Structures are given as structure tokens and as C-alpha cells.
Amino acid sequence: MVEVDVFWSYAFGSGFALASFRQLRKLQAASGDTDSRFDIKDMVDIRKIVKEIESGKSPAFQNEYFLKNLLFLSLLFVPSGSNLLWSNPNWETMQVGSYETIPGWLVSGFTITNVTQGILGYWVTYNYLMQGKYFKAAQQTALSWLAFWFILVNGWDKTGYKRFFSKNREAFDDWKWTNVFGWVGSDVVRILLSYGVFLIPILLYWMTKWIEDGYTEEMEMLEVPIEADDRMKRMAESGGLFLSFAFGLLGFAAVAHLLIRWLGWIKGSLAFAGLFWGGVMSKKGIGPAIMKRLLRVDTIEGTPVWELAAVEEVEEKLVGIEV
């Protein structure tokens, strides 16, 4: 849907960076580049992002993980959204637009942001990972998924779920729960399932494989024995954790919706923010535990990658010193 895809594409880009964090940190350390340290203002500065990409030297963008991020967004995600916008403009705009009312600039902006937001999600997450801030990096993925689900469930007028389960504007205007059956048999669902057959397996395979490859390589460097026969089992576990994490946030979006309905926008939003941040996103919440298990790390923060590069440089210099 037009209203949620900017958050969804951001979540995809962030997730790709998160899954390949060991490989990306290794590439950054090997580059010896200690000047590309960006704060949050730099991370969202389009000119700096373009400059990094155009340089052709940035380890952030000169790798297979960013390339596959672009391919996934441009060859699979954009076509799926464009197909739905053309075939079902009411549903794709959450029952707001139609063929007659959707302006051309909206179509262009929709397809462009489905890629650019994925690049932004990847870039911001990448920078946090390079700083060793694993949990802040994971928050990028978590919060963008939460925003995605919240808009679908609540929307801007507490009717998001009604808009989602109505196959067209007429069904939404005459809302009743039996509309769900008409939606299930609609062209919308057939298109979603058709693209889902390609999107979900590719997404899960790449992400779980990158987590496994990075973890295995790290264990081999530390000379820690690891059972190669359990590779598929570990990948399946990672995939299950990711799906549980993504769809678990749907439950939190539903809680936010109920609180807003019961208490109003201000009180409900504040109540949910306190609940979610305290129970999930804080260092004492369940979020760090889930992240550590998914990424297979022992801490929510690691050594900044530039310090690792500095250590390697010192070690290389010491090799030539005669004692």
C-alpha cells in the first residue's frame, strides 16, 4: 500500500544490512577507511549518501549485500506495488484514491521511494553497525516494521484494518466483517500471494544465509568448533526468529490501536510508547535478548570497526620489527 511501503522498504534495507553485519564490518575494516564516520544528521543527508555511492570506493555500497538489496527492491518490490496500484488503486491507496484521482507524480514518487527508502534503511543501519551499536541498528528494523503494521491496523483514523480488508471503496463505505470473505477471493489477494511466493523465500534465504555465513566464518577464525551438519537447522531457526519478530510486532500494533481507541490519540499513544519502549526497546526489555539470539552475539554493543582497523594496522607494523 502507498501509505506503508515507505516504511516497509526501509525495513527491508535495514534488515539486509543487519543480516550481513559481520561481513560488512569486515569489509569496512579491511578498507582501512577511518574517515567515513557519520552521525545521524549525516546518515539522512541525501547529498552525502549520493557522494558515497558515486565515489565507487565506499565499502558500504561496493558489496553484494547492497547490490542484492537494490535488486530485491527494484525487481521484486517495486513491480508488486506498481501492479497493485494499477489493478486495484482503491485498495493500494487504502481506499483513498482511484484511477480518476491519483496524480501522476504520486505514482512516480511511490515507485521511487520504494527503492530510496530501502537504500536509506540500509545506510543508517550500516553506520550504526560500523559504530558497534548493534541494538540501535536492530531498532531501525524493528521500528520500521512496527510503523508498517500500525498503519495497516490503525491508519490515520483508526480504520486501517477496515481499509485493508475491503477489496474496494464500496466495500469500505459499507463496512461489515463479512467484507473479509470478499477480500480473500479478490484480485488483491491473488496478486499478493503471487509475489509473496518470490519475495518471502528470497528474503528469508538471503538473510539467514548471511547470518550463518558470517557466524561460521567468525567461529572458524576464533578456532571454535562448529557443526557443519547443523547449518540448515541454524538457518531455519534464524528464519523462524525473524518471522516471529516481524509478525510479533503486528501484535504490538494491535495493542497500540486498542489503546488509542480506548484512551484517545494522546493518552493512548503515550501509554503505548511507555509500554513498548520499556518492555521491548529499552536495554532491559525483551528486544536485546531477541536481537542477540537472532544475530548470535553476546552483547548489544561491540567495538567500533575503525578501532579494529587501527589494531590490525599496528599489528602489521609490528610484524616487520626485529626483536
- pLDDT tens-digit profile of 108-126? 999 999 999 999 999 999 9
pLDDT above 90: residue 31: no
Q: Which pLDDT score is estimated for 309?
A: 58
More confident residue, 147 or 226: 147
pLDDT band of 34, cuts 50, 70, 90:
low
pLDDT above 80: residue 107: yes
More confident residue, 49 or 3: 3
Closest CA to 130 of 11, 247, 251, 17: 17
What's the whole-number mean pLDDT along residues 163-179? 95
Q: Which pLDDT score is estimated for 230?
A: 82
Q: Which pLDDT score is estimated for 317?
A: 47
